[in-house]
Amino acid sequence: MPQIRRRLKFVEPTNAFEKQVEEEMLSAWQELSAIVNKGLRSEDNFDAAIVTVSDTGNADTQFDVAHNLGRVPAGYRVVFIDKGAVIYDAGAPWDTAYIYLAASLANCNVKIEVF
């Protein structure tokens, strides 16, 4: 993956204010480049939570997913499932703490991105 450079090019500052601005910009750029160059994860780039549910319970039965977003989510995406099940909306209204899903097979281990 390409890396972004960690240095910026500036003209020589002519006063203390310009020097301070240059130092602040350079510091911010170095922090940003360090984050980007390590690779961004979905959680870093989006207002989302990745939640693991180790057992969904009985087939076609609602299970709760705590997301900690502090708002009602817009949606979800299954990023891992250990069985050939379908994860679907259980029909209960989502809230600022939980979404409510169901699985077509019993006892699935799933990882869900809630956004």
Tell me: do 35 and 64 sit in the same domain: no
pLDDT band at 60 (very low <50, low <70, confident <90, very high): very high
pLDDT band at 4 (very low <50, low <70, confident <90, very high): low
Q: Would residue 21 count as lying in a domain?
A: yes
Tell me: do 26 and 76 sit in the same domain: no
Q: For 28-53, how does the pLDDT look when each residue is reduced to its tens digit (9 = 90+)?
A: 888 888 877 777 766 666 789 999 99
CB of 29 within 8 A of CB of 8? yes
Tell me: do 53 and 101 sit in the same domain: yes
Instruction: Provide the number of structural domains found in the chain.
Output: 2
| DSSP string across 54-79 | S---STT--EEEE---SS--S-EEEE
Tell me: do 64 and 87 sit in the same domain: yes
Tell me: do 35 and 88 sit in the same domain: no
Tell me: do 30 and 56 sit in the same domain: no
Q: Would residue 26 count as lying in a domain?
A: yes
